[in-house]
Amino acid sequence: MSRVTRRFRIAGKVQGVYFRHSARGEAERLGVAGYAENLADGSVEVLAHGATEAVEELRRWLHQGPRNARVDSVAELTVELEEPLASGLKFEVR
């Protein structure tokens, strides 16, 4: 099984609408490790590591987010991790 790590930056109405916690729920459902973190500019950053198909499904979900969110854009970057995720095999909200 192929694994991939991607970093996403989600812009729009994504803070204060339970976006990070909802992303954690989706990631856990899909078996994806990583984190979701609010950024100072009002966006949310998500780092996702897991099976290619699972990370792709999470990416699709990020374009919509939870019910009260409004996603204007999702920027994506494939990244190489030099060491295992600090959170192990979990997905955490920061």
- Local confidence band at 77 (pLDDT 50, 70, 90 cut-offs): confident
What pLDDT shows up at residue 82? Answer: 53
What pLDDT shows up at residue 81? Answer: 65
Domain parsing of the chain, residue ranges = 3-79
- Spatial CA neighbour of 21 closest among 4, 38, 9, 8: 38
pLDDT at residue 89 is higher than 80: no
For residues 10 and 42, what is the distance between their CA atoms, to the nearest angstrom? 9
Instruction: Using only the alpha carbons of the chain, give its radius of gyration.
Output: 12
**What amino acid positions are annotated as catalytic residues?**
20, 38
- Local confidence band at 3 (pLDDT 50, 70, 90 cut-offs): confident
Q: Rounded to 5 degrees, what are φ and ψ at 76?
A: -130, 140
Across 37-55, average pLDDT: 96
- Local confidence band at 70 (pLDDT 50, 70, 90 cut-offs): very high
CATH 3.40.1000.10 fits 3-79, yes or no: no
